Amino acid sequence: MKISIRIFALAAICALLSGCSTVQEPNLVPLPQKMTAGKGTFAVDNSVSISGNAEFAKEYLKGRLAQGASITLQQEGKRNIEISINPQSDIKREGYRLSVLPDNITIEAADEGGAFYGVQTLLQLMPAQIYSEGGNLGKIKVPCVEIEDYPRFGYRGAGLDVSRTFFPLETIYDFIDWIAYHKINTFHWHITDDNGWRIEIKKYPLLTEKGAWRGPNEVLPPAYGSGNKRYGGFYTQDEIKEVVKYAAERNITIIPEIDMPGHSKAVIETYPQVGCTNKDKTMSVNGEVNNVWCIGKESNYAMIEDIVAELVELFPSKLIHLGGDEVNMDNWKNCPHCQAFMRKMGMKQEIELLNYFVRRMEKIVNKHGRVLVGWDEIIKGGDLEPSTTVYGWGSMKRGANAVRSGQPTVFLPGEYCYLDMKQSPYERGHNWAAIVTLDSCYKIDPINMNEFTPEEEKLVLGIQGNLWCELLDRPERFMEYQFFPRLCAIAEAAWTNPELKDYNNFYGRITSTHYDRLHNMGIKFRLPFPEVIYEDGMLKVTPPYEGATVRYTTDASDPTVSSPVLKGEIETAEPEKYRFATFYKDCNQSITVGASNIELYHYLTPEVTIESSYKESESNRSFPMSNITSYNMKKYWRINRRSYPGDFVQYNFKEPVECGKITVETGVPNITFYSCTEGHVEYSYNGTDFIKGDEFVYGTAVIKPQEKVKAVKIVFDGMSDALITSFQNLRIEK
């Protein structure tokens, strides 16, 4: 702490000194390709006029100045802002030239997108409140600067899954604004999946009447925290048209995705004839049974033609995404229609069925003058049309393989771009691809990370940050937390040429300036937590960035805005009682952490055996029952089925255990996914008589026993809302 304070002080002095001699460059995100800071400022107030032929960009700027600053631009004035589009100019696509001089500001572009981005950069030269609603800035001083800018990649995407978690329209509009501020030009709307069909299709009304809803009496069972109530929603065609228009004005193309032939539980539960055979009990990787379109039924293609015909009317996008990922091909193996079809076609493997399906989709989509997009599995099993575009998601290598097989490719490899991945081991999220940090997102560079030939390089369309929403039901506003600021890093990786990129510099811009913008945009972004170690009787805390406020508690509780602000090292003999969190303006805080190099909890590990309602055969071999008697808190027992009232797991101690508290966790550690959503705990002092304890809340229940405990029992009172059930080790404390 002392050392870091000294470094900060030194940095501050340097900054002051350099401020006297040179002009500070503004902190912009994404960083422009070329920027020269000038001297002086342009003052924006009610006397400034606006001119030029870029009608939407002008209106947009006027709107933001009115809302964020209560400034009204005029028709005529002494000082002027001119925004113009000249298709003949030598400025690159979506590029712009922005010049701020004391008497005028000009933005020039060759297209609407470039003019819009010139305005976005201009907004970033203003105080962060410009993004707020109802701001009143009076007069804004814009620093003089010359910027020449254009994007590295033509495809700069953000993807959102609205099936697993449904987002209301207002959120979709906000999201479009947020990504537009970052010069992202593609919104990939994952609009159907197993867990909800969310787009109105006039010819098949049941898709949304039934397939958009989960719940006790719905065709789809509860999932992903939607619980024992009716959950869901969908977007009407009229609503979608409005969203598409709103996005287009902001230079954003919306690529819709209907995920097929796998991930299709919502369709198959609604129109059962679409599926293969309901006798098959094999599971997709997501734990769904019978969620695949049958390839052998010709009627299915007519239905898809109808759906696509409505889709292309709504979405002018050249690219139309029809999925192709994670198909459970065992379903096809066990289907008489698919098997008969394979024999007829002389196919040997089920993967050829996938290729057959994709080729049919190409025809359907191409007929409308559009291009098919599919996930990276579609390159297997046979050739594709050269135009068919692949989304490389499984890994960087799988994206590279798509390029090498000659397909145009968008890169969103899980290990860099999946924003549903955890940001640290302590946060909620998946981790199958990696722990995806801000730095991981910043690094993504599909060109420099692969050795492509110049011809192959042309097939790299760009990159995308992607959010899958199985784990988005909580905590509150977790969508914003998962996207920001990681999407800012992806935006810069997609926009700025690699030789200009520097993570430390980016991180400095984010923490010193961009947090304020995100805050004013209304985004509840993620804050990094401090690093804490205990050494020589002292707790030593490194704040996560220059100027960060860290607060702490001494009773192991979460710090709040009224907790004391950390000033230096803390001398203590009880380091496990301290907790720390970073705070931004008393309205946003990081997760809570303790010292990372000590055991924060001291758990007892009495010998224990398990009794349960689950059969040995229902247990997943990679996550056996013995995991939950190991007291390794990272391990869990996974059962490959949903749980129902009456299901139970009982922990029997060999000897009665003297303890003050037992925390009973269900679900996967740190994710609380596949947990007990409706149930309670029971505990027994003699092993036969049980006392009813608390209900599970988000998969956790706590017992505070009065006597030595002989047994603990987890009891399900309702159907669990996942297709898989998991249990953990008991956390027993003195």
Q: How far is the CB of 263 from ligand TNX (least distance, A)?
A: 6
Q: In this complex, which beta carbon is closest to ligand TNX, that of residue 234 or of residue 393?
A: 393
Contact 470, 673 (CB under 8 A): yes
418, 478, 584, 696: residue in contact with ligand TNX (rule CB under 6 A): 418
Q: In this complex, which beta carbon is closest to ligand TNX, that of residue 57 or of residue 417?
A: 417
Q: How far is the CB of 593 from ligand TNX (least distance, A)?
A: 25
Interface with ligand TNX includes 257 (CB under 6 A)?
A: no
152, 370, 428, 430: residue in contact with ligand TNX (rule CB under 6 A): 430
Contact 526, 223 (CB under 8 A): no
**In whole angstroms, what is the distance from residue 359 CA to residue 378 CA?**
10
Q: Which of residues 31-60 bind ligand TNX (CB under 6 A)?
A: none
Q: What is the CA radius of gyration of the chain?
A: 28
Long-range contacts of 548-554 (CB under 8 A, 24+ apart): 548/511, 548/582, 549/582, 549/583, 549/584, 550/580, 550/581, 550/582, 550/583, 551/580, 551/581, 551/583, 551/589, 552/578, 552/579, 552/580, 552/581, 553/578, 553/579, 554/578
Q: Count residues near ligand TNX (CB under 6 A).
A: 9
Letter string b/e over residues 431-462, b meaning 16 or more CB atoms within 10 A of that residue's CB = bebbebbbebbbbbbbeebbebeeebeebbbb
Q: How far is the CB of 414 from ligand TNX (least distance, A)?
A: 7
Q: In this complex, which beta carbon is closest to ligand TNX, that of residue 462 or of residue 530?
A: 462
> Which string of DSSP letters, residue by residue, matches 545-601?
STT-EEEEESSSPPP-TTSPBP-S-EE-S-GGG-EEEEEETTTEE---B--TTS-S-
Pairing verdict, β 409-411 and 460-467: parallel
Q: How far is the CB of 391 from ligand TNX (least distance, A)?
A: 7
**Best CA proximity match to 71, nearest among 153, 3, 141:** 141
**In whole angstroms, what is the distance from residue 319 CA to residue 409 CA?**
12
Interface characters, 527-566, with ligand TNX (x: CB under 6 A): ----------------------------------------
Q: In this complex, which beta carbon is closest to ligand TNX, that of residue 150 or of residue 673?
A: 673
Q: In this complex, which beta carbon is closest to ligand TNX, that of residue 111 or of residue 420?
A: 420
Q: How far is the CB of 429 from ligand TNX (least distance, A)?
A: 9
Q: In this complex, which beta carbon is closest to ligand TNX, that of residue 152 or of residue 430?
A: 430
Q: How far is the CB of 290 from ligand TNX (least distance, A)?
A: 17
Q: In this complex, which beta carbon is closest to ligand TNX, that of residue 423 or of residue 612?
A: 423
Q: In this complex, which beta carbon is closest to ligand TNX, that of residue 418 or of residue 495?
A: 418
Residue type, 641: R
Q: How far is the CB of 425 from ligand TNX (least distance, A)?
A: 17
Contact 716, 733 (CB under 8 A): no
Q: In this complex, which beta carbon is closest to ligand TNX, that of residue 420 or of residue 665?
A: 420
Contact 544, 605 (CB under 8 A): no
Q: In this complex, which beta carbon is closest to ligand TNX, that of residue 325 or of residue 362?
A: 325
Q: In this complex, which beta carbon is closest to ligand TNX, that of residue 362 or of residue 420?
A: 420
Contact 191, 264 (CB under 8 A): no
375, 416, 580, 727: residue in contact with ligand TNX (rule CB under 6 A): 375
Q: How far is the CB of 156 from ligand TNX (least distance, A)?
A: 19
Question: Taking the alpha carbons of 126, 127, 129, 134 in that order, is the dihedral positive or negative?
Answer: negative
Q: How far is the CB of 555 from ligand TNX (least distance, A)?
A: 37
**In whole angstroms, what is the distance from residue 402 CA to residue 392 CA?**
7
Exposure of 176 in the CB half-sphere (CA atoms within 13 A) = 24
Q: In this complex, which beta carbon is closest to ligand TNX, that of residue 58 or of residue 430?
A: 430
H or E stretch covering 654: strand 648-657
Residues 563, 568, 574, 577: what is their CA dihedral angle, to the nearest 10 degrees? 30
Q: How far is the CB of 577 from ligand TNX (least distance, A)?
A: 36
H or E stretch covering 192: strand 192-193
Q: In this complex, which beta carbon is closest to ligand TNX, that of residue 155 or of residue 393?
A: 393
Residues in the chain: 734
Interface with ligand TNX includes 188 (CB under 6 A)?
A: no
**Best CA proximity match to 372, nearest among 357, 351, 350:** 357
Question: Taking the alpha carbons of 704, 705, 708, 711 in that order, is the dihedral positive or negative?
Answer: negative
The neighbouring-strand residues paired with 92 are none
Q: Which of residues 434-493 bind ligand TNX (CB under 6 A)?
A: 468, 470
Q: How far is the CB of 212 from ligand TNX (least distance, A)?
A: 18
Q: How far is the CB of 189 from ligand TNX (least distance, A)?
A: 14
Q: How far is the CB of 412 from ligand TNX (least distance, A)?
A: 8
Contact 664, 730 (CB under 8 A): yes
Interface with ligand TNX includes 583 (CB under 6 A)?
A: no
Q: How far is the CB of 468 from ligand TNX (least distance, A)?
A: 3
420, 427, 445, 492: residue in contact with ligand TNX (rule CB under 6 A): 420
Q: How far is the CB of 318 from ligand TNX (least distance, A)?
A: 21
Q: What is the DSSP letter of 197?
A: E
**In whole angstroms, what is the distance from residue 26 CA to residue 166 CA?**
38
Q: In this complex, which beta carbon is closest to ligand TNX, that of residue 325 or of residue 492?
A: 325
257, 325, 350, 647: residue in contact with ligand TNX (rule CB under 6 A): 325
Q: In this complex, which beta carbon is closest to ligand TNX, that of residue 113 or of residue 446?
A: 446
257, 269, 326, 721: residue in contact with ligand TNX (rule CB under 6 A): 326
Q: How far is the CB of 331 from ligand TNX (least distance, A)?
A: 16
Q: Give the pair of three-digit tokens for residue 467.
A: 């959010």
Q: In this complex, which beta carbon is closest to ligand TNX, that of residue 117 or of residue 375?
A: 375
60, 175, 393, 529: residue in contact with ligand TNX (rule CB under 6 A): 393
Q: In terms of DSSP H, where are the helices of 484-538?
A: 486-495, 503-509, 515-521
CA 68 to chain centre: 28
Question: Taking the alpha carbons of 593, 595, 596, 602 in that order, is the dihedral positive or negative?
Answer: negative
Interface with ligand TNX includes 224 (CB under 6 A)?
A: no
Q: In this complex, which beta carbon is closest to ligand TNX, that of residue 232 or of residue 392?
A: 392
**In whole angstroms, what is the distance from residue 664 CA to residue 423 CA?**
25
Q: What is the DSSP letter of 706?
A: S
Q: How far is the CB of 402 from ligand TNX (least distance, A)?
A: 13
Interface ranges with ligand TNX (CB under 6 A)? 325-326, 375, 393, 418, 420, 430, 468, 470
